[in-house]
Every structure is written in structure tokens, then in C-alpha cells.
């Protein structure tokens, strides 16, 4: 768990820090990407994680919540992340976008 301050939970800032790197990788090699698009993607990822893992709905993901979620079937789900730009232009995967 990427708990930056050692309090056994992820807050908004810790979650977004994790996803900033993921979003940079998602958008790598794409043209006309701005910081606002990346920020929206980070926000969507954070909301997705808290919606699925934050069992007590306090806005944080505690280590115990993460561990419980990791035991479930959804944890190993292999569907790719649907980015905002994929949804808006109907592209199913980044691979097809990059190969063009």
C-alpha cells in the first residue's frame, strides 16, 4: 500500500499521487493532451477506487478495506481502464489508438 504518511489509509492526495503516474502512462505518445484532461482522469480513477474500496464511506481507504477488497473477484479483473477520451470518441483500447 502506498501510504505516504504512515496512517494506514489512503486519503485523496495519496490516491491521486498514485494515479498521476498511471495517467501519464495512459496518455504517453498521444497528441493534444492537456493537463485538464489528465487531472480529470486522475479524479475519475480516485472516485472509482473510493467507490469500490471505501466500505465505510468516510472518504479514505483504510488498509483493512484494501485487504478485504483484494480478496474479492473484482481485484484481479483484467478489463482495461476506460479513459474519458475512449468514451468520448468510441475507441475500445489505447493500443488501437496508438497504432494509428
Only one residue has cell 480478496, namely: 71
pLDDT at 61 over 80: yes
pLDDT attached to residue 64: 93
Q: How far apart are CA 81 and CA 7, in angstroms?
A: 28
Return the pLDDT at 16: 92
Helix or strand run (H / E) with residue 61: strand 61-62
The pLDDT of residue 100? 40
Query: Residue 79: its pLDDT value, please?
Result: 53
Give pLDDT tens digits for 19-60: 898 888 888 888 888 889 899 999 999 998 899 999 999 999
Q: Are strands 61-62 and 9-10 parallel, antiparallel or unpaired?
A: antiparallel
pTM of the model: 0.70
Amino acid at each position: 500500500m502506498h501510504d505516504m504518511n504512515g496512517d494506514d489509509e489512503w486519503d485523496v492526495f495519496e490516491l491521486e499521487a498514485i494515479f498521476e503516474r498511471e495517467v501519464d502512462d495512459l496518455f504517453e505518445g498521444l497528441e493534444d493532451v492537456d493537463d485538464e484532461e489528465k487531472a480529470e482522469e486522475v479524479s475519475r480513477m480516485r472516485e472509482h477506487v473510493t467507490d469500490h474500496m471505501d466500505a465505510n464511506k468516510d472518504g479514505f481507504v483504510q488498509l483493512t478495506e484494501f485487504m478485504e477488497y483484494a480478496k474479492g473477484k473484482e481485484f484481479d479483473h483484467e478489463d482495461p481502464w476506460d479513459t474519458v477520451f475512449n468514451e468520448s470518441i468510441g475507441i475500445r483500447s489505447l493500443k488501437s489508438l496508438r497504432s494509428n
